[in-house]
A = this chain, B = another copy of it.
Amino acid sequence: MQRDTRQRRAIRRVFMNAGRPLSLDEILEYGQRIVPSLGVATVYRNVKTLAGAGWLSEVRLPGVGPRYELADRPHHHHFLCRSCDQAFDVHRCPDEVEALAPDGFEVESHDLTLFGLCAACT
């Protein structure tokens, strides 16, 4: 059901080497270094296929397009650099967070994003 094509292999390799969430443009750019003919539609389709298969998960951050990361990671948050626009993992989390909701609101999950300059852009 899931075929192992050159394109899909390239996209998987890109994520194995990335170590951080990637945007669709980043996946396309890095993927084309491995398979130059790689097209946008293929990236869009594979990202959905791999997410559907539980291999990738979608990272939604405020104000920017979706990023994707390897799915087998424990709970964590993200840092978004305003200069290079890259996202990075933040592995610590203020756990009492979900108690902050107003009365009558039922919290199911939460999202924390830090903004600023990454180590390389400082």
Contacts and interface: CB of A to CB of B under 8 A. Distances in A.
Contacts of A18: none
Nearest to A110: B114
Q: How large is the interface on A (under 10, 10 to 19, 20 to 34, 35 or more residues)?
A: 35 or more
Given A106-B116, A107-B115, A114-B105, A63 B63 contact: no
A30 interface: no
The complex is assembled from copies of this chain, and their number is: 2
A10 to B, nearest CB: 27
Interface of A: 60-63, 66, 77, 79, 82, 88, 90, 92-94, 96-98, 100-119, 122
Contacts of A66: 63
Given A60-B63, A62-B61, A94-B96, A115 B104 contact: no
Contact of A116 (B77, B109, B116, B122): B109
Contacts of A100: 77, 90, 92-94, 112, 114
Closest 5 CB pairs between A and B? Answer: A104-B119, A60-B63, A60-B62, A108-B116, A94-B94
